[in-house]
Copies of this chain bind each other. A is one copy, B any other.
């Protein structure tokens, strides 16, 4: 290496990480790398250096804090690709993901993120129902097709898919680099079926653990369960007695592209918006009183006898008390794809919900919401997919091996 050349010096080191990030699985001593320019290390900032461990009992990107940028990408197997080819692809993908999430450069790198650091990159792999006949395996019960809902306006070309990758990072070029890298490694085995990109608040632009706002301006996610809550693991992750042994420790992702009818919403006066949701817009407090974190009082009535939280308010219909305690972990991204041909914004939520069983998670909640939730009039579910997300891989292994090799 001459003095005009830049390389990456791989060595075992402790990545510097920012304090109080709420990140799960911070790298404590993985094989990371130091970007060099002109033979000298490039100093990484706390945002650049933050790494989320790829390897482990569970895949990253489920309980990890949602990053600033996300890509959801579904692939279909190429004609003739079988279980063996799929296994080789998951091996290539896992190896590349392990390198990139630790800040290392994969082989034949395009150098888009050469000196960026990992920026909290996570890569999460899932399997769709249509994959299973192609690999000569039975799909797990959790991949049963979702029932139709009255409010659906689904585009099948943007739903489903044999394979799924969820990419998240706190830096857009790092996320783009991961997407391109993984797409290149699929060449000949799988091709992209659909691809969606979204965002959250910038890393560092808000103090944790403030709940984010969605593009309707609503504080969204107040009642999201948190790791450590009673029953969290059992509700979100497939248990140790599940019949599909390869899914034990995994989870199911329900992915819905939910467009918001923002022009209609914006024409609604503030007090009517608040009745649709059942919360104050400014601070997220339920209309029954208190602050954002006060539990909605569903029996509270106003002086005139009407319920403080209307019968069709989103917060009432979606409440665990209203649907037998069904719990899912929502970890979504907002999206904004410009204008539609009719001049309205093509924007909304890339809804991603995690649960041990979609039947008792998303399906149960959505059955309650469907038709009864006033909010339904201001949103359109435009695409839908469900993926079985197997447990994580240990170093040297790859995601999905137990399904693909046994």
Contacts and interface: CB of A to CB of B under 8 A. Distances in A.
Chain A interface residue count: which class?
35 or more
**Residue of A200, A210, A336 ringed by the most chain B CB atoms within 10 A:** A336
Contacts of A48: 205-206
Contact of A289 (B4, B210, B281): B4
Contact of A282 (B111, B285, B291): B111
A284 B210 CA distance: 41
A92 to B, nearest CB: 16
A200 B172 contact: yes
Interface string A200-220: 111111110010110111000
A205 B347 contact: no
B68 A213 contact: no
A109 to B, nearest CB: 8
A202 B334 contact: no
A320 interface: no
A217 B114 contact: yes
A226 interface: no
Interface in A274-302: 280-283, 285, 289-292
Interface in A189-248: 191-192, 195-197, 199-207, 210, 212-213, 215-217
B202 A119 contact: yes
Interface string A39-72: 0001101111000000000000000000011000
A304 to B, nearest CB: 18
B334 A283 contact: no
A192 to B, nearest CB: 6
A5 B243 CA distance: 50
B38 A176 contact: no
Nearest to A3: B291
A271 interface: no
B116 A205 contact: yes
A285 B319 CA distance: 59
B200 A202 contact: no
A69 B43 CA distance: 23
A217 B180 CA distance: 12
B204 A47 contact: yes
Contact of A180 (B5, B262, B280): B262
Given A111-B217, A202-B170, A197 B6 contact: no
**Residue of A43, A192, A197, A199 ringed by the most chain B CB atoms within 10 A:** A199
A172 B184 contact: no
B68 A202 contact: yes
A110 to B, nearest CB: 5
Given A6-B280, A42-B210, A199 B173 contact: yes
15 contacts: A5-B282, A5-B283, A37-B282, A38-B285, A45-B206, A45-B207, A47-B202, A68-B202, A111-B282, A115-B210, A170-B205, A184-B266, A191-B343, A203-B204, A337-B337
Return the 7 tightest CB-CB contacts between A and B, nearest first: A6-B282, A111-B217, A6-B283, A172-B199, A171-B202, A4-B285, A47-B205
